[in-house]
Amino acid sequence: MTPTDDIRDLLVIGGGINGCGIARDAAGRGLSVTLAEMSDLASATSSASTKLFHGGLRYLEYFEFRLVRESLVERETLLRAMPHISWPMRFVLPYHADMRFESDTPTSKLLSVTMPWMRGRRPAWLIRLGLFFYDTLGGRKILPGTKTVDLAGTPEGAPLQGRFDHAYEYSDCWVEDSRLVALNARDAEARGATILTRTKVTAADQVDGVWDVTLEDTETGDARHVRARMIVNAGGPWVGDIIRSRVRSNSRDGVRLVRGSHIVTRRLFEHDKCYFFQGTDGRIMFAIPYETDFTLIGTTDCDHPDPSVEPVCTEDEKRYMVDFVNGYLKRPITTDDIVWTYSGVRPLYDDGASSATAATRDYVLKVDRSAGAPMLNIFGGKITTYRRLAESALEKIGGELGDLPGPWTAGVPLPGGDFPVDGVDELVAELSRGWPFLDPRWARRLVRAYGTDARDLLGDAVQASDLGRDFGATLTAAEVDWLMDREYARTAQDVLWRRSKLGLRLSEAQAADLDAYMADRRARRAPAAE
């Protein structure tokens, strides 16, 4: 444990999307940055989202117009920067005039007072008005606007009960959430940041106006110190614990932890559009085409008071989501149709809302100087606004550390994203020509994961065997080596459930084989690393 005289500008705590986004932005402005993540990148909230870049249509009911507008503008900014891991998606909102809801949103309360005959309903005019705002607030240039869809005899209507005869169709975007985190980290490192995974902050003390932070390698137990002019606390669900237990700050700002669970089922419909379902309890549920052969359903909102308790999808949540979508589907599903579940904890700013559903999704940034050296605490936020959150964080950081260069990330491609928004098919065709052993599905998977970097991953291979061991589902040793060398992966869990979702396709034996390969490769490389 050897202190160093090197003083970093920033120590970022947390390797989720907010931490990695801030590290990238800061490094690109010339700041010296170290990021410490106690587990794998995106190992908590940032790999457990509903995987959408969206404005948040339902947030309009809570009058969160600033958040919605910022999110809508960001959708297209982000699409241009990452066309490999994000793409446009159409959303189908079925409507029936007799649908009734129980809701405590400000909009519902206003309707109950001004139009009591509308109590328990979202009238068609209100939905159209909300979609009009949704289409116009963000200044769309790429995404098509809303239209009304006749469900009779159409692919969109085929999976639905006959009582739904029409729907509203609007635009939002899909994103590969955990890959987004890894690519931000990789770009931050390319711009000079130091990215430390499996590294936990155990203590932080202010010494002569500078933070002296103790870091512990969670695999070896080795400790070291990093000195930094400022700490950014982007600990996600652990943001409050870092404030109280690691930094021992007097800050009174609080965080509300809300668990969101999802289920994945067999594929429930043949088209590539997503459904937006409204529940009788006022909540909404998405049913989204997922990984070609599956459907993703979510999410729930439940308070989750202890970040040390691993979030899991409970039996009650499974039944709730199954019953919810069965209110719409012609062929009901059961819990036996579920092939996978996942849960994450959203670290929302505690605004005193009456329910987890009503708690604000907006981000709140607070600078705390009570310890002498400055610390920026990050509360809330959503994946769609991570880049704007980072810009806001850099404004706060500049106020503490001095003037900084201006914002630069808008539209700047992430690694592999240097091709047009509509260029995926062309890139897939290029891979198929250059590496004829790739079947179309394999080529598309590589493009959707790595974009133009797929060329470097494939290298000079002329046949599949040149890529090394086949672990199943087109995952080869060459790809695993790439993920270990360039994207911080260390275990099979990192590869199968965060850098990809190939865990849906590999058996337990195949996953164990992959884990053994990665452990052996780490062991063989350890002496050289020392």
Cα 116 from Cα 109, distance rounded (Å):
10
What are the structure tokens assigned to 147, written together? 């239209």
The two tokens of residue 370 are 């009570």
The three-state secondary structure class of 279 is coil
**pLDDT tens-digit profile of 502-514?**
999 999 999 999 9
Is 151 a residue whose pLDDT tops 90?
yes
Question: What's the whole-number mean pLDDT along residues 415-441?
Answer: 97
Of 224, 223, 186, the C-alpha closest to 488 is: 186
- Mean pLDDT across the stretch 441-461? 98
Determine the number of helices (DSSP H) and then strands (DSSP E) in the chain. Answer: 14, 20
| Model pLDDT for residues 259-312, shown as the tens digit of each residue | 999 999 999 999 999 999 998 888 899 999 999 999 999 999 999 988 889 999
Residue 16: name the closest of 382, 492, 343 by CA: 382
For residue 334, CA distances in Å to 50, 102, 298, 505 come to 21, 25, 15, 21
Greatest mean pLDDT among 129-143, 246-260, 374-388 lies in 374-388
In angstroms, the first-to-last Cα distance of the chain is 15
- Find the mean pLDDT for residues 354-360: 59
Fill in the DSSP letter of residue 329. B
* Mean pLDDT, rounded, of the chain: 91
> Taking residues 404-416, what's their average pLDDT?
97
For domain 88-174+256-349, the CATH class is alpha beta
Average pLDDT over residues 451-476: 98
**Which residues, in sequence order, are bridge partners of residue 215?**
201, 224
Identify whether the C-beta of residue 74 lies closer than 8 Å to the C-beta of residue 384.
yes
The residue ranking higher by pLDDT, 6 or 190, is 190
Report how far residue 351's alpha carbon sits from residue 255's, in angstroms, rounded to the nearest whole number.
Answer: 9
Three-state DSSP class for residue 509: helix
13 DSSP assignment: E
Residue 38 near residue 202 (C-beta atoms within 8 A): no
Q: What's the confidence (pLDDT) of residue 107?
A: 47
- Quick: pLDDT tens for 83-119: 999 999 999 999 986 666 555 555 454 444 443 433 4
Q: Is the peptide bond before 335 cis (omega within 30 degrees of 0)?
A: no
Are the beta carbons of 47 and 181 closer than 8 angstroms?
Answer: yes
pLDDT for 4 equals 45
* Residue 2, pLDDT above cutoff 50: no
What class, spelled out in words, does domain 7-45+178-254+361-401 have in CATH? Answer: alpha beta
Phi, psi (deg, nearest 5) at residue 69:
-60, -45
Give the predicted TM-score (pTM) of the model.
0.93
Number of alpha carbons in the 13 Å side-chain half-sphere of residue 42: 30
CATH topology match: 7-45+178-254+361-401 vs 424-529: no
Q: Which residue has the tokens 């444990």?
A: 1
Q: Would you say residue 440 has pLDDT above 80? A: yes
- As a whole number of angstroms, the distance between CA 267 and CA 341 comes to 15
pLDDT digits (tens, 9 = 90+) for 38-93: 999 999 999 999 999 998 887 888 778 888 899 999 999 999 999 999 999 999 99
For 473, the token pair is 């589902």
Query: Domain extents for the chain?
Result: 7-45+178-254+361-401, 88-174+256-349, 424-529
- From its phi and psi, is residue 187 left (phi > 0), alpha (psi between -120 and 50) or beta? alpha
Which tops the pLDDT comparison, 307 or 397?
397
Q: Is 259 helix (H, G, I), strand (E, B) or coil?
A: strand
| Right CATH for 424-529 from 3.40.50.720, 3.30.1280.10, 1.10.8.870, 1.10.3720.10 | 1.10.8.870
pLDDT score recorded for residue 245: 84
Sign of CA pseudo-dihedral 240, 243, 244, 249: negative
Task: Name the nearest CA neighbour of 496 among 346, 438, 486, 508.
Answer: 508
